[in-house]
Amino acid sequence: MLILMASDHTKKQLADVLARVRKLRLKPHVIPGKNSVAVGITGNSGALDKTLFEALPGVREAVRVTRPYKLAGRDFKHGDTVVPVGPYDIGGRGLIVIAGPCAVESEEQLIRIARAVKKAGAQMLRGGAFKPRTSPYAFQGLGKQGLKLLAAAKKETGLPIVTEVLDQRSLDDVAEYADVLQVGARNMQNFALLKDLGKLRKPVMLKRGLSATLDEWLMSAEYLLSEGNDKLFLCERGIRAFSDHARNTLDLNVVPAVKELSHLPIIVDPSHATGVRARVAPMARAAVAAGAHGLMIEVHDRPDQALCDGPQALHPDDFAVLMRDLAAIGAAVGRDMAEPKFGRQ
């Protein structure tokens, strides 16, 4: 439910509304507006009686919110969320590109690729220190040592770090080093992990689950938002379908759908969506044309030697060509490549 306060309400009247919500063992969220404020209510699984609030002084109207995701939807927040990450914003006019290897393999490998993606214009560096793999015998990542190497790459290039948090045991270590904590597709509904991430107040990128609907995805976002973390953006990375010509099916329909229903920024990962190097660039270009706020792209200068997902990684030269294409497409749809807020890095 959304409680709309009258434009001339007093502080005491607002406090009385908040007290009424808490008395019902629900959680109030004060939402500033242009002429007044509203109070969003979360914690209820069923409909609330509007008269409980409309009878209170200072209340203009109580409006029922029918969607299950309240904080993630536009009923509670009409304006778009912008997530600050280092010198950049995700969700504004600027187009953000996160690039780097699937996995951190060594310091030499990571620094080499980090320099290349920065030279091409990427604003953030991706790299997995903890790798959830389908096979227990596949490379699982370097763990905390990988995080230290990411920190070294950040010191070398100035690029903010995006890396995956695998579970609650690794959460504190990842939070110490990462600028953005990535929730992978397999963890989208790891609700205990989402709650802990919601308490951290650090930027989080929430990937869509392998077969998740839009509602399920936004409900996972609701877990983080309900714990107080509004530094959240979404990442479409393809869903499972019956097609056998690509690793997954990239659902670009979801980009405008998210922007219609939610205020959260959305980026696209064409690398995991396609799993095929030749298809990454076309889908990246299409994602920008569809209105995505950014991209996450795997880059490796020696993909045939990569310990993880080499077949989908772009060579740095091809990535540089793609970045020029993205700048042109972005300009055509009113989205420039993001510039640092604190001066050129």
One pLDDT digit (tens) per residue for the chain, 345 residues: 899 999 999 999 999 999 999 999 999 999 887 778 999 999 887 888 999 999 999 999 999 888 889 999 998 888 999 999 999 999 989 999 999 999 999 999 999 999 999 999 999 999 999 877 777 767 777 899 999 999 999 999 999 999 999 999 999 999 999 999 999 999 999 999 999 999 998 999 999 999 999 999 999 999 999 999 999 999 999 999 888 888 899 999 999 999 999 999 999 999 999 999 999 999 999 999 999 999 999 999 999 988 888 999 999 999 999 999 999 999 999 999 999 987 545
Tokens matching residue 261: 């229903």
Residue 101 and residue 142 in contact, taking contact as beta carbons nearer than 8 Å = no
On whether the CB atoms of residues 159 and 188 are closer than 8 A, the answer is: no
Give the torsion sign (CA, 255, 63, 216, 163). positive
CB 120 within 8 A of CB 320: yes
Is 131 in contact with 167 (CB distance < 8 Å)? no
d(C-alpha 236, C-alpha 115), whole Å: 26
Measured CA to CA, the distance from residue 171 to residue 176 in angstroms comes to 9
How far apart (Å, rounded) are the C-alpha atoms in residues 15 and 243?
55
pLDDT at 245: 87
Question: What are the residue boundaries of the structural domains of the chain, listed by start?
Answer: 2-63, 83-332
Task: Assign domain 83-332 to its CATH superfamily.
Answer: Aldolase class I (3.20.20.70)
pLDDT score for 142: 86
C-alpha closest to that of 184 among 176, 193, 175: 193
β-bridge mates for residue 84, sequence order: 89
Q: How far is CA 183 from the centre of its chain?
A: 9
3-state secondary structure of 109: helix
CB 237 within 8 A of CB 185: yes
Please tell me the predicted confidence (pLDDT) of residue 112. 97
Strands 232-236 and 204-207: parallel
CATH of domain 2-63: 3.30.70.1140
User: Residue 23 has which token pair?
Assistant: 């008395």
State the pairing for strand pair 124-126/83-85. unpaired
**Eight-state DSSP code of residue 17:** H
Judge contact between 266 and 258, C-beta under 8 A.
Answer: yes
Residue 223 CA to residue 229 CA, distance in Å, equals 9
Q: What is the pLDDT of residue 174?
A: 96
Q: Extract the tokens encoding 52.
A: 């409980």
Task: Indicate the SS3 state at residue 203.
Answer: coil
Query: At residue 263, what is the residue type?
Result: H
Contact 103, 166 (CB under 8 A): no
